[in-house]
Chain A
Amino acid sequence: MNILQKDFKTLWRSSVIWLVLALLSFVLAWLFWQMLDRYITLQGSFASLANPPTITQAMWTPFVLMLAKLMMLMIAMTAGTSVAQERSQKTLWYLLINNSSPMHVIGAKFKVQLTLLLFVGIELLLVFALLTVGGELNNLKVLISLIGLCLYCCWLMSLGMWISSQCQSPATAVLLSLLVFVLVWMLGGQTVNQEYGLNWLSLFSPAHHLQWFCEGQLAVSSLLYFIGGSVIFLRFSALQIKQLRKLW
């Protein structure tokens, strides 16, 4: 059993994770049903419009953005505890002994976080299957938004792990991660732009870049933002673990 397998078991043996996943699934199902109900009700009035919204615009994109918001809670929990838990239960030395590379440790922990994408995939697959029964989705937009959502989750996971490496208590790490996630999401909010004109700060928000993906734009700047940001946060986490050797 290597670090990856150990972390995998640690993560998925926690009953809290299953509870939160069940809760999120319920909330997503409920909200999706509400959205569908509203869409069906409004379909009559869509007929009078010259350019009515497609099912991808009216159902798929809002669902992806909603899933992205809810994933903040899940990722704050898993990524937030990833390093802080090792520190609080004093097991980090197992991973640092013999001057082991912190990047190797962080890499393994990040790979375990990626298993959460399976939940994202299942949710989106179900919604895709349901929507294709009633209409025709733009497959290219669906694919690009899926890529965007996965990259967004990776970005949040890396940021969460960095925050986690700074904290000694898992509870603090989870709350702090959630707070930071919400703040960076709000940075890219449309109301911020409306109130203050073009807000350059919004370019630093994952919400802003995810929005582009959801509109079917595969922008290089957004790809760089998510991939580069993830790499930088993972590097910072490894550096922080290296720093911990000086506090031991």
Chain B
Amino acid sequence: MNLKQVNLTRSGQKILNDLNLDIPERGVMVLLGANGAGKSTLLNVLAGISDIDSGEIILKQARHRFLMPEPAVFYPQLTVEEQLRFIATINHVNAANDEVKRLLDLWQLMPVKQQLTQHLSLGFRQRLSLAQLEVSQADVLLMDEPLNGMDPEVLKIFKTQVKHWKSTKTIVMATHIMHEVQELADWVVVMWQGNIIHSAAYQQELDFYQIYQHAIDQHHKTFVGTGSKNSEN
């Protein structure tokens, strides 16, 4: 998946500014950035939900995408099992019933499978959101802050599943909780005010915080440098 000179403006404000990005076919790409950097918007664009103003999104082949938004939202009148069945059907999953049962079991949703989603606690909402991601059988999994409020037990299952998925799928994950996803990452992208200021394979030598800080510092130096030169002229 390639993004070429992607621009997106909402209410007169530039949210994505001339983005160029190559997303590999397999592995985990982590998006780092402060609030308002454009991470969630980029995920919506990649999911095919938001229309861009200009630029191009090139899919090398017909790739199926699914999103885990933040906060997780479900149909309040459906039960947990029905919600998963709905996702399986709209994504044309074969043997949907068996798959739904397997995922209810895997994500420990069996005790609440007949409960309406509107009555779920935060922990179960997160499990359901992750189960949805898996039941979609999408080639590209997009996650917006997947670790928010995650308990250690679910975190363990989540990490195991991501390690399993990353050999066959593209995973793009936007997060603030940097230390927990370091061990999963293959690529790291740093965003700042709608711009990509760093994009590289992750070498595990530096931690995410250092990469993020370094990218921000470099960008500020360039930005301030250009700004001062312009003001001198």
Contact = CB atoms under 8 A, between A and B. Distances in A.
A99 interface: yes
B225 interface: no
A248 B49 contact: yes
B51 interface: yes
A134 to B, nearest CB: 43
Interface in A229-248: 245-248
A93 B66 contact: no
Interface in A1-24: 1-3, 5-6, 9-10, 13-14
Taking residues whose C-beta sits less than 8 angstroms from the other chain, chain B's interface range is 20 to 34
B49 A96 contact: yes
B89 to A, nearest CB: 5
B86 A6 contact: yes
Taking residues whose C-beta sits less than 8 angstroms from the other chain, chain A's interface range is 20 to 34
Contact of B90 (A3, A9, A10, A247): A3
A9 B81 CA distance: 13
Interface string A33-62: 000000000000000000000000000000
B65 interface: yes
A246 B51 contact: yes
Nearest to B132: A94
Contacts of A98: 47-48, 64-65
B47 A90 contact: no
Contact of A1 (B47, B49, B76, B85): B85
A97 interface: yes
B73 interface: yes
Contact of A247 (B10, B73, B77, B87): B10
Interface in A193-209: none
Contact of A97 (B47, B78, B86): B47
A93 B51 contact: no
Given A98-B47, A245-B50, A246-B51, A10 B65 contact: no
Nearest to A93: B49
B90 A94 contact: yes
Given A93-B67, A93-B69, A98-B65, A1 B74 contact: no
Interface string A80-107: 0000000001110111111110000000
A7 to B, nearest CB: 9
Nearest to B65: A98
Nearest to B81: A1
B209 interface: no
A96 B48 contact: yes
B73 A89 contact: yes
Contacts of B64: 98
A73 B69 CA distance: 35
A246 B41 CA distance: 11
B174 to A, nearest CB: 15
A88 to B, nearest CB: 11
A66 B50 CA distance: 44
Identify the 4 closest CB pairs spanning chains A and B, nearest first.
Answer: A99-B48, A245-B51, A248-B50, A1-B85
Interface of B: 10, 44, 47-51, 64-67, 69, 73-78, 82, 85-87, 89-90
Given A97-B65, A98-B47, A245-B49, 4 more contacts: A6-B78, A97-B66, A97-B67, A245-B51
